[in-house]
Structure 1
């Protein structure tokens, strides 16, 4: 192993069935400016990332045979852009999602989390220190 330390996750992909609807949801809740791009049979919209940053980035991805949204699979935790996840959580239902678990303290050291369904039916979470 090299001396450079990286987080375990290097990339994630969130399945979507309606890319414009999914982009609208993530833009509304998190304030991102996602845009879709076509790659053969696959359509993707990348989340923002910081070059040589500590975290992982990923994309929304649409491919009818390979990707299906799910509320039972892996959960991606998004860091709250505002610093307090209640700000993003308050936008979820207006943007077409559903709140599954309100803001909940994990521990004082770790912070807070909430669970929701996105516009496509994927279960995701938001984390913040406040």
Structure 2
């Protein structure tokens, strides 16, 4: 899966996750300050972190965080559930704009993370 990906695509995907994690942390902090329910953003933030860790482990040999198959599967499902809304947002953006490029890279990063998590789940289940 990931062997044929260019280093540029890998780097862009990692940056896309770093960006969404940073934005999610800021959103979470704002929600906490306002006393809002944070369960959805916390779940998404955790899924983004798991996704980034798995991509970095897969591509860069980063230390394996040893997520169990349930945790990986839940993170994968969160990412899959977010893809349609990001794709709709992309459809409303003009091609060639910074927003379009950001969404395009985010979609690609999410798709690659889903693939990596599927592979990781198989590896974890094979160990058990």
TM-score when normalising by structure 1:
0.28
Structure scoring higher RCO (CA < 8 A, sep ≥ 6) equals: 2
**Whose helix proportion is higher, 1 or 2?**
2
